[in-house]
């Protein structure tokens, strides 16, 4: 309880409050405009309380008054007055609410402030909202009359130092509270109507009571997320979206959700038509508007929904949350956790409905936001739902802008196929020209085409879908797809005798290439190409990304697989059988590796490649010259 001192109507603040006021008056200036939000929030609470009493037909003073908040600015006098017709306070309530810690978190606020940077905006986190007025005020005068009929009106006055005074108010004072703020010189802009209007529109536009600024109502926009869906038109949804997301075009889709059990909340979330991220950078408007009892707590809450849903814009509100909810307590609040899980589940179901009932709209969604949504591969509690919503181009698509779901892929795969295959590359043409794809084409096995770097994390991150493993086509062992028959009578292998000779050639090529490759093996996956580089457990694209992030790390050598039937390999075999140390064989083997590395995108030394090509050209020219000379003779 605040201590009474002489004269009789003067009181001292509690020690923690004095410490808090000193912080607010001298140290904390970041986002000072929140004090108006806090005072309006308090006024709205006071109006809610008196309205509840009136609904219960309790006797209240001045019952003819409208429920409203009136704000007056006086630039000449440098004052700002915020008045409400709410529940009001008695003398004892003024002492308890404005002079002591009461139920606020003042002590915790002071503790946190001592530990954190002094420019951190802590206002509103611990329910110390009223005291924030002293960031801008040299003196505050609170005139209040309780809704209890017999309670007289009182005036609470303080300069935010160590004491406050309480005196009698004029007898004609009506029910409610009026806060008159005498502004500091460096805060005099808060006496300007345009400034206050901007703050109201930013934080308090959806307060359920009229907020009048110099007699004109400011908050005219309806909180449509609280309305029944049947009462809201498509035009109203789009107008609200444009307002809340600062966009000029309509939304692509939206979800309007209300719930009362197990926790009360309302949500209205929009999917924009256009991806708002530029060059991989977050949009400045990213985040959800988080409201508590129609008061804006955070205009860009980026922690409520998972990162893979950051393209969403809209509002989430609950009356069951405390007004002092903050980013620091967001994940710890059990009510908020329940709301979050419910909304994520509903959003995924909403996207599934759009994908099923409106494929064209879903295709638009995927083109714009698919790259972000794929980050949901690590949402393990919703992994199957997220995976079912992913879309990819594939070898069964005729164009690069067609999309296939994992479910569609599984529906049309051969019965013998027990995995989902994908192959990455910068574009469709690059993927289709990858030699690793040849065996899949020959067996008519569908392969998902992946062009986004995130795919290299998303698909392996899923591990499997519908109990089918997800495997990169350029890392799979050919034996894994041997049981799937060729659609045509193709044989990629040789007789045992020929295989033995080709194995000897492979050993010679390994000797020539040395540490450039892990090994040289005969391939049973190549149909049209002479050779291919195969990674060991990691796709080529992933290896490139790892190399990008760790440029000093030495790339791990790959296995060079050579075809058993390609004419070029058979020519090299003939050359090897004639002379294993043939200089041309050495140059040809080196260029075979270079060509495979070029298709793989893993050329580490272009100068060596250029030198190898030039050496081969020189040998060809010399051989042609010799033959020309012999024919002339």
- The predicted-structure confidence for 491-508, as pLDDT tens digits, reads as follows 777 788 888 999 999 999
- Give the helix ranges, DSSP H, for 206-278: 234-245
Strands (E), 431-503: 448-450, 464-465, 468-472
CATH number of 390-481: 3.40.50.11260
Name residues whose C-beta falls within 8 Å of residue 106's C-beta, 6 or more positions apart in sequence: 16, 17, 20, 126, 128, 131
Q: In residues, how long is the chain?
A: 633
Q: Give the C-alpha separation, 122 to 326, whole Å.
A: 9
pLDDT value of position 607: 57
Our measurement of the distance from residue 319's CA atom to the centroid of its chain's CA atoms, rounded to an integer in Å, reads 25
- What is the structure's pLDDT at 421? 94
Q: Is the pTM of this model over 0.75?
A: no
User: What are the b/e assignments for 72-87, b being 16+ CB within 10 Å?
Assistant: bbeeeebbbbbbbbbb
pLDDT at 312 over 90: yes
DSSP strands (E only) in 374-510 = 391-394, 404-405, 419-424, 448-450, 464-465, 468-472
CATH number of the 496-632 domain: 1.20.120.790
Residue 475 contacts by C-beta under 8 Å, 6 or more apart in sequence? 534, 535, 536, 537, 538, 539
Is 295's pLDDT higher than 50?
Answer: yes
Q: Tokens 């490759």, residue? A: 517
The percentage of residues in the chain with a pLDDT greater than 70, rounded to a whole number, is 81
Q: Write out the CATH class of domain 224-359.
A: alpha beta
pLDDT of residue 535: 78
Average of per-residue pLDDT across 200-221: 89
Q: What are phi and psi of 117, to 5 degrees?
A: -60, 140
Report CA-CA distances (Å) from 370 to 6, 185, 204, 570. Answer: 69, 51, 34, 46
Per residue in 30-78, pLDDT (tens digit) is 567 888 988 998 898 889 888 888 877 888 989 899 999 999 999 999 9
In which region does residue 562 sit, left (phi positive, over 0), alpha (psi from -120 to 50) or beta (all else)? beta
CATH topology match: 224-359 vs 390-481? no
Q: Which two tokens stand for residue 214?
A: 């110099």
Contacts of 588 (CB under 8 A, 6+ apart): 572, 575, 616
Residue pointed to by tokens 């020929």: 498
Distances (CA, A) of 74 to 78, 80, 196: 6, 6, 12
Task: Return the biggest CA–CA distance within the chain.
Answer: 132
Token digits of residue 517: 């490759």
Mean pLDDT of 20-35: 68
Assess contact for 307 and 375: CB atoms under 8 A: yes
What is the separation of C-alpha 376 from the centre of its chain, rounded to a whole number of angstroms? 10
> What local confidence, expressed as pLDDT, does residue 292 receive?
81
Residue 178 to residue 82: CA distance in whole angstroms: 6
Q: What is the pLDDT of residue 126?
A: 36
pLDDT at 119: 34
Q: Where exactly are the structural domains of the chain?
A: 3-217, 224-359, 390-481, 496-632
> Are the C-beta atoms of 191 and 50 separated by less than 8 Å?
no
Supply 267's token pair.
Answer: 């949500």
Domain 3-217 maps to which CATH number in 3.40.1390.20, 3.20.20.70, 3.40.50.11540, 3.30.565.10? Answer: 3.30.565.10
| Degrees, nearest 5: CA angle 103-106-108 | 105
C-alpha span between 256 and 243 (Å, rounded)? 16
């Amino acid at each position: 309880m605040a201590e009474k001192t002489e004269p009789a109507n003067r009181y001292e603040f509690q020690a923690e409050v004095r410490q808090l006021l000193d912080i607010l008056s001298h140290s904390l200036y970041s986002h000072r405009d929140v004090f108006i939000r806090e005072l309006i929030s308090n006024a709205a609470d006071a109006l809610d309380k008196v309205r509840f009493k009136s609904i219960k037909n309790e006797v209240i003073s001045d019952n003819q008054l409208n429920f409203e908040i009136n704000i007056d600015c006086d630039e000449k006098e440098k004052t700002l007055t915020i008045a409400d017709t709410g529940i009001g306070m008695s003398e004892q309530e003024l002492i308890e609410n404005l002079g002591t810690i009461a139920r606020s978190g003042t002590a915790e606020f002071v503790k946190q402030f001592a530990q954190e940077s002094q420019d951190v905006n802590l206002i509103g986190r611990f329910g110390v909202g009223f005291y924030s007025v002293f960031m801008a005020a040299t003196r505050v005068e609170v005139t209040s009359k309780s809704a209890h009929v017999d309670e007289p009106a009182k005036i609470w006055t303080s300069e935010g130092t160590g004491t406050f005074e309480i005196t009698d108010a004029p007898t004609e004072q009506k029910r409610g509270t009026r806060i008159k703020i005498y502004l500091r010189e460096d805060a005099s802009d808060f006496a300007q109507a345009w400034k206050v209007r901007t703050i109201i529109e930013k934080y308090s536009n959806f307060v359920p009571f009229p907020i009048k600024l110099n007699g004109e109502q400011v908050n005219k926009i309806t909180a449509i997320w609280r309305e029944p869906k049947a009462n809201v038109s498509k035009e109203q949804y789009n107008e609200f979206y444009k307002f809340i997301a600062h966009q000029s075009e309509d939304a692509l889709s939206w979800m309007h959700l209300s719930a009362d059990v197990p926790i009360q909340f309302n949500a209205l979330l929009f999917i924009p038509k256009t991806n708002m991220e530029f060059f991989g950078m977050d949009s400045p408007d990213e985040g959800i508007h988080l409201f508590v009892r129609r008061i804006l707590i955070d205009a860009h809450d980026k922690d409520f929904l998972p990162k893979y849903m950051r393209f969403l814009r809209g509002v989430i509100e609950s009356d069951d949350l405390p007004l002092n909810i903050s980013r620091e307590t967001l994940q710890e609040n059990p009510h908020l956790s329940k709301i979050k899980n419910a909304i994520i589940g509903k959003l995924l179901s909403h996207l599934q409905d759009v994908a099923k009932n409106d494929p064209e709209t879903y295709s638009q969604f995927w083109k714009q936001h698919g790259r972000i949504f794929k980050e949901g591969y690590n949402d393990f509690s919703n992994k199957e739902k997220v995976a079912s919503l992913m879309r990819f181009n594939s070898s069964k698509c005729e164009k690069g802008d067609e999309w296939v779901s994992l479910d569609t892929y599984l529906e049309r795969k051969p019965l013998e196929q027990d995995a989902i295959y994908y192959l990455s590359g910068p574009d469709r043409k690059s993927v289709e020209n990858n030699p690793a794809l040849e065996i899949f084409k020959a067996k008519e096995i569908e392969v998902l085409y992946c062009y986004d770097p995130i795919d290299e994390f998303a698909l392996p991150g899923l591990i499997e879908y519908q109990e089918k493993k997800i495997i990169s086509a350029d890392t799979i062992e050919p034996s894994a797809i041997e049981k799937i028959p060729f659609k045509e009578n193709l044989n990629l292998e040789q007789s045992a005798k020929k295989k033995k000779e080709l194995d000897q050639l492979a050993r010679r090529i390994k000797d020539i290439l040395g540490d450039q490759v892990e090994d040289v093996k005969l391939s049973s996956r190549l149909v049209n190409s002479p050779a291919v580089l195969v990674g060991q457990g990691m796709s080529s694209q992933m290896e490139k990304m790892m190399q990008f992030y760790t440029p000093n790390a030495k790339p791990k050598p790959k296995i060079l697989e050579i075809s058993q039937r390609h004419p070029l390999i058979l020519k090299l075999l003939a050359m090897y059988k004639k002379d294993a140390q043939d200089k041309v064989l050495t140059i040809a083997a080196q260029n075979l590796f270079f060509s495979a590395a070029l298709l793989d995108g893993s050329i580490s030394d272009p100068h060596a490649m250029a030198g190898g090509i030039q050496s081969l050209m020189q040998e060809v020219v010399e051989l042609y010259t010799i033959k020309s000379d012999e024919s002339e003779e």
